Amino acid sequence: MRKHHVYMLQCSDGSFYIGITNNLDLRVWQHNEGTDTHCYTYLRRPATLVYSTEFADPNSAIAWEKKLKS
């Protein structure tokens, strides 16, 4: 069964980024390596993982991500 993580990063400018992924370690690494120049965190590196929680159901993960963002 694939697990889904909702996570929060604190960026170097003090702002926060909230996302969802099925591979938390890889996604945090991607944020810090700057693999996507269009990503919010690209110009705000390094980003530190400050929160994550795991869900078995992707719909529950999406709902929690939306709640955190609101």
Quote the pTM value: 0.94
Q: Which of 41, 43, 33, 69 is nearest to 6 (CA)?
A: 69
Rounded average pLDDT over 47-58: 98
For 6-17, how does the pLDDT look when each residue is reduced to its tens digit (9 = 90+)?
999 999 999 999
Q: What is the total count of domains within the chain? A: 1
Range of the domain at 49: 4-69
Residue labelled with tokens 């159901």 = 57
The per-residue pLDDT for 8 is 98
At 24, is the secondary structure helix, strand, or coil?
helix
* CATH number reported for the structural domain that contains residue 8 in this entry: 3.40.1440.10
Q: Which of 68, 55, 57 is nearest to 19 (CA)?
A: 68
Rounded average pLDDT over 30-57: 97
